[in-house]
Amino acid sequence: MALRDAFVNIAKNAAASAASGLVSGVASSLRSGLGGSSASSASSPLKSNFAPKETLLLYPSDVGVNMHQASYILFARHSMSGAKVKPIRVKGAKVKPVIKKDGTKDDKATAAKQKAADDKASEIAAGNQAGRGGAGAGGASTSLTLQRRNIQKTGTAIGLYMPPSVNVSYNMDYSEGEIGVMGEALYGLFKDYQAGKLGMDSINNAAGTAGTGLEKMGVGMIDKVIPGAKDLYAIEQGAIITPRTEMMFRGTGRRSFSFSFTFIPKSAEETQIVHKIIKEFKIGMSPTFKTSGSTREMTIPDVFSVQYMHINGPNNYINKIGKCYLKTMDVSYGGDKFVTYNADKEGAPPQKTTISLSFQELEIMDRTLVEAGY
């Protein structure tokens, strides 16, 4: 199979699927493009007869076909437009009635409790809604950006060689939380009230615990005014006042991804491809100024899909990546010495160009998405 002819098939199929707006469509096209071809063609994908905005840019040109370039990364740019926000309201599970101290139902408290359950159910339903281009099943997403903005089209797809290594970090936020004696006493009282068990025994127990807490709080306050009071109290009691702490889970951090690529074009055609690749990334990460009445606004930049590929399909041994913003891009022209190729009408193209890309994922990965390969 002629390599260049394979590129033509790849590019044509990628162009046909560009309207879908999803990188999975491009991946499917790559699979079909590499399925077979005629050995008679020597065309370049950039010379195929389709619109430039639907071009598939490859560097090096044999990426995905040459056995030494079998692994690569596929980038796709997605333009997004605003969508009408239609709040999702669903009914949560029916809550148990709140009982007052006299045994009667507290309708107001019960209604507030039911509203909280409905709000939680609506929040989950909004996060699970499909069709916005998210990482979840059917395009569902926990990101409001992906929920409330429509993917209009796919920009130029870019296939770049696999760097020596790729990394991903999963960050869970844990920190110590101090649980005060007063807080513990009042929380126990509140739980008894919720369960309808509030009585004199509960109040007396809470008062006893709170009394101890107030004593220790008082010592702490005096120590701020009169340094050493807390230490004298510890000497007298034969024990120090130490806070009760618990290791608490606070949330999940968003993942970030960084890639660095070095381009040394081997032909005039590859020189143009490198120039277009750099421009495509710069355009995708940049906003546009617009005027709304007397207010000057900026549009939200495009998002990118990033997928690790091997020959003609996704490499599922490496983590999947959700939609990302391109936060930073560093471009370096030249190396130890600035050298150019022969000049053309645009100028003299650099012999060596290096780019560093830093992406930030929109969605927060939970256990379900991690099980799905993210």
Using a cut of 0.75, tell me whether the model's pTM lies above it: no
Cross-strand partners of 73: 160, 308
pLDDT score at 282: 95
Count Cβ atoms below 10 Å from residue 256 Cβ, excluding itself.
15
pLDDT score at 325: 94
Backbone phi and psi for residue 259, each to the nearest 5 degrees, phi listed first: -135, 150
Pairing of strands 56-59, 149-161: parallel
pLDDT score at 225: 58
pLDDT score at 265: 93
The continuous run of DSSP H or E covering 24 comes out as helix 23-33
| Encoded tokens for 44 | 């370049």
- In the DSSP assignment, the letter for residue 71 is E
Taking a C-beta distance cutoff of 8 angstroms, is the pair 273, 61 a contact? yes
pLDDT score at 156: 80
**Rg, Å, the chain Cα set:** 30
Runs of H (alpha helix) within 129-237: 144-147, 181-194, 200-225, 229-237
Residue ranges of the chain with per-residue pLDDT less than 50: 1-53, 85, 130, 206, 210-211, 214
| Encoded tokens for 117 | 């359950």
pLDDT score at 203: 53
Among 371, 262, 363, 366, which Cα is nearest to 306's? 363
Where are the domains positioned within the chain?
Answer: 3-83+151-171+255-330+358-371, 173-251
pLDDT score at 27: 43
The continuous run of DSSP H or E covering 118 comes out as helix 107-128
Cα dihedral across residues 219, 225, 228, 229: positive or negative: negative
Taking a C-beta distance cutoff of 8 angstroms, is the pair 352, 312 a contact? no
Amino acid at the residue 278: I
Cis peptide preceding 350, ω within 30 of 0: no
pLDDT score at 47: 31
